Each structure stands twice: as structure tokens, then as C-alpha cells.
Amino acid sequence: MKNAWPEWLFVLGVGLSLSVVLNHHSAKGLDLARDYFPSGMPAGSGRTVGSAESSSGASTAPTFENEVAESIQRLEQKGFQAIGTDEVLALMQDPRLEAGMVVLVDARNETLFQERHIPGAYLFDHYQMDQYVDLVLPMCQIAEQVVVYCNGGHCEDSEFAATDLVQLGVPQEKLFIYAAGMRGWNEGGHPVALGDRFDDFDELRTLLQVSPEPEDEQP
């Protein structure tokens, strides 16, 4: 490949330049200067075992309950308060939720939020924070209690979102992380809302009315 340098320059130079420009201008592009994993946890630490959980036939694969327990331990080490499904369910019946004194924050992405979310939750995707912060931050500042969740288990996005909120001035004492997250919520068969947030309270009332009480299921 004698005298091939123009071709190398073209392939590498133009390719890399285009990559830089397209990432910069893409709506989904990454901000190179932003630390998307602000927990201070070194990349890959503890992740090798985590990766084994998704390996089929992995006899050491942790159960979801173990994952949640590990998450709670990690959250407490970082000074966050973890709450469980029963407490979130109790908040669903709490009039403070509709009054905005309790705020639920869904830290997953928009696609997952649209598919299903806990009724009344605000979308706050940590990775696209700029799109949501203007709406969610004032709500969190007013609220007495803010509950953040993501998919649950090893999902760390709720921690990252909570860290964002703390950095933006929301007192950490107000913040609670629902460690079981959407997976734990789904497994409990609790009411979910679809699509955007706005009609959730109507949906919630309907869902709670039609949801059978555990006693009713007894013969």
C-alpha cells in the first residue's frame, strides 16, 4: 500500500472528524465533559460478578432479592435512604402525593417511562438531565419527600439521579431511593401508568378502586 497516506488520512481523518461533529449535533449525543457515573465507583468494580448474573447457567447468579439487598447496602454507604415497596404503596394513598408534597421520580429513560411507570412519577432521565431538570427540580424543592427509582436491583440510575438532585440543591434528607424499582413494583402486580404523566392521578384513582384488596381474594 505504497503512498496510501491520503487514503489513511481520508478514512481516519474524515471519519473521526465526522464522528466528533455528529456526536456533538446528535440529540442523543454524549457530553464528553460530563461524568455520567458520579457515584465515585470505579468503572468495572464489582461489575464482573454482576455480569455473571446475566449469564445463563451461572450457578452463582444472585437472585433479585439479593441484588436489592446489595443495592440497599450500597445506598446506605453513600448516605441515601432506601425504602421498600410497602412504603411506596402507602405513599400512593397519601394525599400529599397529589398535593405535590411527595414527589416520585422515575430515573429511567423516556421509552421505559412511556411503557409503564409508577402513577404520578415524573420522568428524570439522568443521562438527558437538561431536558427534565426545569420541570422536576422545582417540584423536588417544594416537596417534603422525594422518592427516586429506576429498574431496581443492580440498576444505579436512581442513585445517579438522586446525586444530580443533591448537587442541584435538593436536601439529601428528603431523598429516598426505592431500591426494588420498577421490577419490584411489577412483580408485586401494583398499579402502573402508561404514556405521559399528566393523567396519572385519574388513572391512579381508577386503578386503586378496581384493584382487589388482598382480603377480597380470600374465599
Partner 1 sequence: MKNIVVTLIRVLIGGMFVYLGWTKTQDPVAFLKSIREFGVLTEYWQMNVVAGWLPWFEVWCGLLLVLGVGVRTAAATVGGLLLAFTGMILWRAVQVHAAGDIAFCDIQFDCGCGTGEVVVCYKLVQNSLLTLGSFGLAFIKEHRLALWPHVRIGKPLEE
| Binding positions for partner 1, rule: CB under 8 A | 1-4, 6-8, 10-12, 14-16, 18-20, 22-23, 26, 28-37, 42-45, 47-52, 54-61, 109, 127
Shortest distance (Å) from residue 153 CB to partner 1? 14
Cell of 158: 436512581
Sign of the Cα pseudo-torsion (63, 67, 70, 72, in order) = negative
Shortest distance (Å) from residue 110 CB to partner 1? 11
Q: Using an 8 Å Cβ cutoff, are 193 and 118 in contact?
A: yes
What is the DSSP track for 105-124?
Answer: EE-S-HHHHHH-B-TTPEE-
Residues 6 or more apart whose Cβ sits within 8 Å of residue 115: 194
Judged by beta carbon, residue 70 or residue 201, the one nearer partner 1 is: 70
Chain centre distance of CA 197:
15
Judged by beta carbon, residue 48 or residue 218, the one nearer partner 1 is: 48
Shortest distance (Å) from residue 35 CB to partner 1? 4
Shortest distance (Å) from residue 188 CB to partner 1? 26
Q: What beta strand segments (E) does the chain contain?
A: 81-83, 102-106, 122-123, 145-149, 175-178
Judged by beta carbon, residue 22 or residue 142, the one nearer partner 1 is: 22
Judged by beta carbon, residue 60 or residue 218, the one nearer partner 1 is: 60
